Structure 1
Amino acid sequence: MSRLVVVSNRVASPDDKKGSAGGLAVGVLGALKSTGGLWFGWSGDIGDEDAPLKKITRGNITWASFNLSEESHDLYYNQFSNAVLWPAFHYRLDLVDFQREAWEGYQRVNSLIADKLLPLIEPDDILWIHDYHLLPFASELRKRGVNNRIGFFLHIPFPTPEIFNALPPHAELLEQLCDYDLLGFQTENDRLAFLECIKAQTRLTTHDGHAHRAWGKAFSTEVYPIGIEPKEIARQASGPLPPKLAQLKNELKGLKNIFSVERLDYSKGLPERFQAYETLLEKYPQHHGKIRYTQIAPTSRGDVQAYQDIRHQLETAAGRINGQYGQLGWTPLYYLNQHFDRKLLMKVFRYSDVGLVTPLRDGMNLVAKEFVAAQDPANPGVLVLSQFAGAANELTSALIVNPYDRDDVAAALDRALSMPLAERIARHAEMEAVIRENDIDHWQERFISDLKQITPRSEESRLRDKVATFPKLA
């Protein structure tokens, strides 16, 4: 059986309990357990790049990681991945800070990682590469003669040509992406945006809708919306509450709770969300003294000015809202800029009446799915969800809103707070069925199955590239 090699920016080693909790780790480990293989990536440590790889083997899975120097990490991760690609892919060209040195550093680190992986690759291995940090990675492997099947999954949105093609190295990045055999996206809009970007640069031919050729390279595209572990989340959410949470629940017995949690990031639409809540209090005064909105937003990239600005905006808005609408014994908004254990958050989800998930742009947004999975099916809360989250394509029974329209969001919150039980149960049941069917295992199994169906490249097929047949998905 072919071995699976997974490459991601960071490796969630079996000893890293915090890193192993996320959706990517669950999906990757599920795929690796079924075939055996290797998970390869940066260790998270700044150090000697020439140091031997750190390896841990448990059963049929090996974790291998490497260090990056401070300069390499700064150029590749901070200055290009997170100061160019992240804002651009989230439609924030105004926050892009492109520097040629960072672009060169990004390419150099991708080349370095390819050199480190090369000795570990076996002829029958299938490679699965993850996310925007590694856009040129297949191209680097192809230069080194690697003809194995190589798939790529983008966890964040892919922007339209008007955005993407504003990036100075856009043409080079697109051509490098075409060195992957299979490119997976969260939504059909992301997939089509990628193809439109290529069309703006060169001739693109398409066969059967999902098999393509550009720059003389054959590749396939497909949509794979990432899922969660709904049964595990339901297990974490149910059961007895920790003493402090039980006390809090008792104190809030007379209030309906609106709850949000995400890391502090400009893509999440937090200032706009606070404004929408303020509009709710202004236009729907019947809720005064009867609701509370809790926003948990731990600091992310706190040394970046854009993130400092958001934090200041939120602190100012929270003070203004509580100052204007608060009463003795009632604080309408709680803003917590700190980290909470994920298992605890699942219990908080279960006892929330409204989940408010309104990013300005998001690849998927697993918090929306986690909120649904954590609910009590007999008395579920209501999900208010941004139309610009990938999850909105699946969770169509949520109250879908435009996060830029504070009146729209406020009206949805009012509706959610007063929704009858029968409607809440019906909406929740429809969404729960979707997340159970399209769970994290289904996501990785579909991707790996499709990648295995693609004929691997060989030196001979390279020479016959002009007449090669398109890879075809089932």
Structure 2
Amino acid sequence: MSRLVVISNRVADPRKAAAGGLAVALGESLQQTGGLWFGWSGTIVEDGPTGEGELHKQQAGKVTLATLDLSREDHDSYYLGYSNKVLWPVFHGRLDLANFESNYIGGYRRVNQLFARKLLPLLKDDDILWVHDYHLIPLAAELRAMGCRQRIGFFLHIPLPPQITIAAIPQHEWLMRSLFAYDLVGLQAEQDVEHFRRYVINEAQGQALDGDHFRAWGQTLRASAFPIGIDVDEFNALAAAKESRDMFETMRREYSQRRLLLGIDRLDYSKGIPQRVQAFRELLANYPENRRSATLIQIASPTREDVDAYGDIRRELESLCGAINGDYGELDWMPVRYIHRVVARKRVPGLCRAAAVGLVTPLRDGMNLVAKEYIAAQDPDDPGVLVLSRFAGAAEQLKEALLVNPYDTHGTAETLQQALQMPLAERRVRHQRLLERVREQDVHWWRRSFLEALREAPAER
């Protein structure tokens, strides 16, 4: 069996539960093949020369973890700059927040070249390479330029925007052309594949061939939807553990007279949290019976706090929550419980199970696994209701959720009322169908489907 080589911005020890579901899923194939996981070490060398980083190796069972230090200049231009101030906002449809600083792209290309140069000597002739996410879009092109001929696949964890939005990126043709150095490009949703198709035809003057194959710039690749899932069994084991059960009992005891609506997000402008809070306010205004009986718990964990846009959204959210609590709160009831810190993952299943309504309403999201975790956490005899944004990739799979337009505050408030009033029989039917789909297309299905498709790619380009 060919060795699997995974390349991502950050590396995790797949043996550790804290590494997360993705690391565990990749770890299974990495362990089976004695694989290699390559990425940034997380270390910034303040006085190191630009473009040079020390390579570290360690064993995690049968898996080799190879990590690279970055200089401050490279980190700031590649990661903080191009990845998170250009690609992240543009790919989430926020051109107004993009910063097209000219030196960012130079650092982005330089670090991808550095990754390729350090990775190439570690490769074997029959390796299969799997590159992850927007930080490393041009990595295959850099490897090909250095003579790499192995099969290389790429998976984009965030959404791919429409053609006209991509075209707003300076040097967008170079970026998209880089994708054609891969043999397989995996996207989260069919909508993303359609956006890719339109770009290839209209911007690159390429062709859409049979079977999700595309040809442009003299190269052919396959681009298909591989919606990522969760490890349901692992999440259920987490739910059965003491910390999760204690959380559920605590929430049920403290909110015995209330019905909980729950949002769990990173504090990111793509998540639609202010719009969600405004919809909850309209629910209280239009349906007074929910006052004193409904509580919104909104967890917004810190992220990228050195970027101005995140400070702005934090201040907006704190103001909104304070205003609602001031206008509607009572001495014994606080309408919104806003928590700006990370809640331990081992407590999340119990928190989800206690919530009558799960709110996953991003303005744009590649997939959103919180939606799937909320479904997996529910009691099938008395399940909660998932309210899901139609702009999350998960909406293509989870059609039995209540789908909303998060920009429509009034419509979302009406849907929240529908969720709170939904009869038990309907809740059970919807949950059963949702859980079946979450189980069928779990993270292991995702990994197997992608790697099978990549292995079918030609041995040499």
Normalising by structure 2, report the TM-score.
Answer: 0.96
1:336 to 329, 339, 342: 339
1:34 to 24, 32, 35: 32
1:186 corresponding residue in structure 2: 188
2:98 corresponding residue in structure 1: 96
Residues of 2 paired with 1:194 and 1:87: CA distance? 18
Matches within 5 A, 1:383-402: 383-402=386-405
Matches within 5 A, 1:168-187: 168-187=170-189
Offset of 1:197 from its aligned partner?
A: 1.5
Q: SS of the counterpart of 1:127?
A: strand
1:257 to 260, 280, 293: 260
1:76 to 70, 75, 78: 78
- Pair 1:415–1:80, CA change in 2 (3 A): same
Contact 1:237 1:346 in 2 (8 A): yes
One-letter code aligned to 1:335: Y
Unaligned runs of 5+ in 1: 459-474
2:423 corresponding residue in structure 1: 420
- Pair 1:397–1:244, CA change in 2 (3 A): closer
Contact 1:27 1:443 in 2 (8 A): no
Q: SS of the counterpart of 2:263?
A: strand
Offset of 1:192 from its aligned partner?
A: 1.4
Structure 1 consecutive aligned stretches of length 4 or more whose deviation exceeds 6 Å: none
- Pair 1:101–1:438, CA change in 2 (3 A): same
One-letter code aligned to 2:39: G
1:230 corresponding residue in structure 2: 232
Offset of 1:210 from its aligned partner?
A: 1.1
One-letter code aligned to 2:190: E
Contact 2:248 2:353 in 1 (8 A): no
One-letter code aligned to 1:59: G
2:384 corresponding residue in structure 1: 381
User: How big is each residue's C-alpha offset from its partner over 1:344-375, in whole Å with a ceiling of 9 and x where there is no partner?
Assistant: 01111011111000000000000000000111
Residues of 2 paired with 1:123 and 1:36: CA distance? 15
Which sits farther off after the overlay, 44-53 or 390-399? Answer: 44-53
Offset of 1:57 from its aligned partner?
A: 1.7
User: How big is each residue's C-alpha offset from its partner over 1:368-389, in whole Å with a ceiling of 9 and x where there is no partner?
Assistant: 0000011111111100000000
Contact 1:238 1:350 in 2 (8 A): no
Matches within 5 A, 1:280-299: 280-299=283-302
Contact 1:234 1:375 in 2 (8 A): no
Query: What is the identity percentage for the equivalent residue pairs of Structure 1 and Structure 2?
Result: 48
Residues of 2 paired with 1:284 and 1:55: CA distance? 59
Unaligned runs of 5+ in 2: none
Contact 1:231 1:373 in 2 (8 A): no
1:351 corresponding residue in structure 2: 354
Contact 2:296 2:335 in 1 (8 A): yes
One-letter code aligned to 1:266: Y
2:13 corresponding residue in structure 1: 13
Residues of 2 paired with 1:172 and 1:56: CA distance? 35
Contact 2:6 2:36 in 1 (8 A): yes
Contact 1:276 1:410 in 2 (8 A): yes
1:276 to 260, 276, 279: 279
Residues of 2 paired with 1:243 and 1:5: CA distance? 40
Is 1:43 matched with 2:29? no
User: How big is each residue's C-alpha offset from its partner over 1:377-419, in whole Å with a ceiling of 9 and x where there is no partner?
Assistant: 1111100000000001111110000000111111111111111
One-letter code aligned to 1:178: F
Task: Tell me the number of residue pairs that the alignment of Structure 1 and Structure 2 aligns.
Answer: 456
Offset of 1:198 from its aligned partner?
A: 2.3
User: How big is each residue's C-alpha offset from its partner over 1:54-77, in whole Å with a ceiling of 9 and x where there is no partner?
Assistant: 212233311111100111000000
Normalising by structure 1, report the TM-score.
Answer: 0.93
1:139 corresponding residue in structure 2: 141
User: How big is each residue's C-alpha offset from its partner over 1:136-180, in whole Å with a ceiling of 9 and x where there is no partner?
Assistant: 111000100101100000000001111100111101111111111
Which sits farther off after the overlay, 82-91 or 299-308? Answer: 299-308
